[in-house]
Amino acid sequence: MFRRILLTIIILSSIALGSGCWDARDIADRSVVILAAVDLSQEGGTQFGKPVRYEGTILLPNLNPDTEEKVRIEKVSGVSISGSRDQRAYINPEIIMTRMIQVYLFGESLCISGIAPVMDSLLRNPVLSNSLHLAMTEGQSGDLLTAEPSDFPDLGLYVTDLLQKVNNKSFFPVVTLHDFAIHSTSPGRNPVLPILKEDAGEVRISGMGIFRKDRLIGRVGLDESRPLALLRGAQSMAYIPFIMTRDGEETDRGTVFVGNHRKVRVERQGNQFTFNITIILKGELIEHERSDVLTRDRQSLPKIEEQIAADIESECQSFIERMQGEFKVDCIDISKYALAKWRSELENTIDEGFIEKVNINVDVKVHIRNTGDLL
Amino acid sequence: MTSKQLGFLIMGTLVGVNFLTIPRTASEAAGQDAWIAVLVGALLPLLVLVLIERLGRRFPEMDFIQMSQYLFGKIGGSVLVIILSLHMIIVVAREIARFAFLESIFLLPLTPIWAISLLILLVSLYVAGQGAQVVARINELLFYLLLPAFFLIVYPLITAADHTYLLPVGGSGILSIARSSFDVSLYYGRMEFLMVAYFMVTHKDEVLKAGLIAWGAVTVPYMLFTAACLMVFGPENLQEQITPVLAMFTSVSYPLLERMDMLFLVAWSVAFRPVFNLLCMSGYSLTRLLNLQERRHYLMLLTVAGTAAYLFSLIPTSIVELIIYSGWQGYTHPVVGLGYPLLYLLAAKMREGRTQNV
């Protein structure tokens, strides 16, 4: 009898405690963060006698159906980025859940001064996934959070989708917290970040920020993002338009939809390093304006391939010149191949004055898989 | 138990929380050659396995306690049995503390460490209390339950790995690889539990084969996960991670289940196999030493051993203390793992010589 009573007590207490019913909380009592932004404080001031340095802004979708606003935006400032969370106690009574953060944005001034202190706060937090997406903004990132995309439930979902799927339609890298952390701390590597800006109430990608380790040192627009992504080997599927000419006259124009792949070989003669980058583009011709049948002329498709290859090669060479002359940092992620061969010799010096002196050759190979004619 | 069950017992005992941390240790000196260090470091438990098997062959009809007392006399043998039992209890304490801290950091941040440790102890006592055969079967069951988790490695390899971090092969130098191999060999400790478990196997001629398979089944995943972590983080960044294997899973977003790291951790954190395996072995040794036959005596001694391990596990109050404590404690593995079988083999040889002279 005693054993039965004991067993009943154990089963009942297990059901009550194990199910978590005793500690149940309504989902509406929680604030789920999906988008966060960090900036250097513009207003300054002191907290606990110490100068305020950071501003943290979070976007929280309202889970309570009775509220009017779709989202809540909270801005706090603090001496350190994690320390600023203390200020949220005074403006938000709910439990703030950061586990679902999908995107972190960094303001321009913070990027220039260096993101490493903020990265430390993010990487140290075990509830944050290192696969969350990163981007920087033109100006203060907190200001961008007030934009309201009309056709998305909230800005958080819109920006997440935008950054996550940008490489489905364009040559553009998708950057996660993990990528940035690894590229900003590994010898010979440097990260890039997408730049977001608000334009007439719409948030859009406007280019890419070039970093030397954790500091922003330059930026490129959308036109140069393509060669940067291709040289960097950021895998994407994208549209490339082309124009065919003969004797200076335009004969055809069209578009291919291709995926990219990169191969890098490095050679050395004494202290002169030569990188040979091969960019392989494979895909389909999806548009050409001239009405002739391409399958009748066996030279047509190869000519289109050659034209695209020449265009991309030219873009890449221009970008490499700018990288070696202006940025002076390996933002195309090729130094690692030299390290793979001569790691112990180059490891300590590869980040200073290496990429400027190397020879970089680019060869683009385009392979159009379809006939180019209507089906 | 059968030799197959012993194989699962070996796998369960060798693989603990150290599985999550080994890539960091291996890459500390060996850098890009960490995976080689993991392979070389695995030679220590292999040597321990072979030595214990050679020893066991000489005394197929005895158990560990009888053999100890036969070779070293009643007092000397008993002292050696007690020292090995204490060693296993301290290893159990370390494992309880490791699992508890891991769960506290990632899963139960608001639950006190003592409560998590107590829960681990109670479950382990229950499992160990069922006897060696049940313990071996639970190891087998957990092996199959955890097996799918090993395939999670494929996705980070496809999406986030960079093979250049492994190159040039051998570039870190033989000395660096040797240093890391020694550090890694401490992670493979605990094979010394075979001193007790070997004698529980019915077909002793199959022990070496089963042991080799188990050793391979531990070494290959250790090497693969170390190489994968290297390719995902690079040798420098690997030093920033306390549990690189978990960090590797957080670095990528898996399709459908985005936070695969949490799922892996939940699966991993319930598999505190070294705790109940070693508790079972120490409880069994002490019971046999005291010549007690009844199950309630075994349970009583098991509870005493478990309580001692629990109290020891509460000594480190932070993860830093635990790492330091574990580091020092790790050095006992090669001492006990190699020292015991070598000592026993030496004693057996001497005794053999004496018998022949007579």
In the predicted structure, residue B270 carries a pLDDT above the cut 80: no
pLDDT exceeds cutoff 90 at B152: no
Peptide bond into B168 cis (omega under 30): yes
Going along chain A from its start, the domains and CATH numbers come out as: 25-220 (no CATH), 226-375 (3.30.300.210)
- For residue A131, give the nearest of B105, B165, B253 by CB distance: B253
pLDDT digit string, tens, across residues B177-227: 999 999 999 888 889 999 999 999 999 999 999 999 999 999 999 999 999
Selected for mutation to probe chain A from B251, B264, B265 (highest A CB count within 10 Å) is B251
Mean pLDDT of chain A: 90
CB-CB under 8 Å, B251 with A178: yes
Supply the pLDDT for residue B277. 96
Choose the closest CB to A178 out of B32, B160, B259. B160
In chain A, residues with a C-beta closer than 8 Å to the C-beta of B250 are: 128-131, 178
What pLDDT score does B162 carry?
94
Tell me if B171 and A344 make a contact (CB, 8 A cut-off).
yes
Q: What is the CA radius of gyration of chain A?
A: 26
- pLDDT at residue A300 in the model: 83
ipTM exceeds 0.90, yes or no = no
Ranges of each domain in chain B: 3-357
Calculate what percentage of chain B has a pLDDT beyond 90. 72
DSSP B63-104: -HHHHHHHHHHHHHHHHHHHHHHHHHHHHHHHHHHHHHHHHH
Q: Where are the beta strands (DSSP E) in chain B?
A: none
Of residues A369 and A212, more confidence is placed in A212
Express each pLDDT in B304-335 by its tens digit. 999 999 999 999 998 889 988 888 888 999 99
CA distances from A101 to A33, A98, A144, B306 (A): 5, 6, 16, 42
Segment B300-307 long-range contacts (CB within 8 Å, at least 24 positions apart): B302/B125, B302/B128, B302/B129, B303/B125, B305/B85, B305/B89, B305/B92, B305/B279, B306/B92, B306/B121, B306/B124, B306/B125, B306/B128, B306/B279, B307/B121
Number of other CB atoms surrounding residue A143 within 10 Å: 17
The two tokens of residue A260 are 């990219």
Report the chain A residue with the minimal C-alpha distance to residue B162: A336
pLDDT band at B358 (very low <50, low <70, confident <90, very high): low
**What confidence category does residue B357 fall into, taking pLDDT thresholds of 50, 70 and 90?**
low
Coil/strand/helix, residue A214: coil
Residues of A in contact with B232 (CB under 8 A): 178, 182
A307-338 confidence digits (pLDDT tens): 999 999 999 999 999 999 999 999 999 999 99
Identity of the residue in A130, A176, A339 whose CB atom sits nearest the CB atom of B164: A339
CA distance B324 to chain A (A): 21
Q: Which chain A residues are Cβ-neighbours of B160 within 8 angstroms?
A: 178
**Residue partners of B220: CB distance under 8 A and separation at least 6:** none
Answer yes or no: is pLDDT of B159 > 90. no
DSSP three-state, residue A166: helix
Nearest CA of chain B to the CA of A127: how many Å?
Answer: 7
Residues of A within 8 A of B105 (CB-CB) are 126
Look at residues B195, B9, B1, B11 and name the one whose alpha carbon lies nearest to residue B87. Answer: B195
pLDDT, position A149: 85
The reply to whether residue A181 touches residue B258, judged by beta carbons under 8 angstroms, is no
The DSSP call for residue A352 is S
Q: Regarding beta strands A71-78 and A54-61, do their DSSP bridges make them parallel or antiparallel, or are they unpaired? A: antiparallel
Q: Which of B108, B246, B253, B259 to mutate to test the interface with A (most CBs of A within 10 A)?
A: B253
CATH number of this structure's domain B3-357: 1.20.1740.10
